[in-house]
Structure formats: C-alpha cells, structure tokens
Amino acid sequence: MLFTEFTPTVSDRFFHINYSLQSQDRPQFVVITPKKLGLNAVQRNRIQRRVYALVRGHYSSWTVGVRIAIVVKKAAIDSSAEKFRDHLLELLSSINISQHA
C-alpha cells in the first residue's frame, strides 16, 4: 500500500496530502487522481499536470528527503484555477517542508 510510509497528513475539501521525511537524496512527490472522481484518463492526466506545474515552482525549496503524496478530491475538479492553486499552495505551506523553515 502506498501510504504505509506516510504518517502525517493535511487536507481540505480539494486535496489530501500525506508526507514523510526519508533519507533520500532529493525530494519526491506523486499526484494521485483516483478513478472514483468519475473522470476518464485524459481528464485525470490533465489535473495531474496542473498539480505538477504548480508544485514544480516550489520543489527546489523543499527539504532533502521529503516524500509527498497529493490526492486530488472531487471538489478540486470543478474549482477555478485560482482556487485550485490557492488551496494546493496553502496546504503545502502548512506542512512546513521548506529548507529555510
């Protein structure tokens, strides 16, 4: 199971984020868009690309060894781009994974 290594979690109505610190060389993250969302593969991949694009801008400031799993929820699909971005970045900042923290 994917989340056996992840213990701390944060979530809101758009995303659920599991994270942990491991002894890896670089930060790692994965975006999960479940089939339960009722979307086809093309739509799920489009949402994943949106998340990857947002995370890519903050990736270099993350602590070495952090592992993050971002699960997209149904409410995120119908949200505006601004709300999507704001909710994701707010959750990521709340888990305090920056090297400068």
pLDDT string in tens for the chain (101-residue length): 355 555 788 889 999 998 887 766 777 889 999 999 988 999 999 999 999 998 887 777 777 778 889 999 999 988 999 999 999 989 988 886 655 34
**Which 3 state secondary structure label does DSSP give 90?**
helix
**Total domain count for the chain?**
1
Q: Using CA atoms, how far apart are residues 94 and 88, in angstroms rounded to an integer?
A: 10
CA separation, residue 85 to residues 13, 40, 77 (Å): 13, 22, 12
Q: Is residue 54 part of a domain?
A: yes
Q: Using CA atoms, how far apart are residues 94 and 96, in angstroms rounded to an integer?
A: 5
Q: Is residue 101 part of a domain?
A: no
Q: Is residue 100 part of a domain?
A: no
CATH (domain of 47) = 3.30.230.10
Q: Is residue 87 part of a domain?
A: yes
- The range of the structural domain enclosing residue 11 comes to 2-94
> Considering only CA atoms, which of 32, 17, 21 is closest in space to residue 64?
21
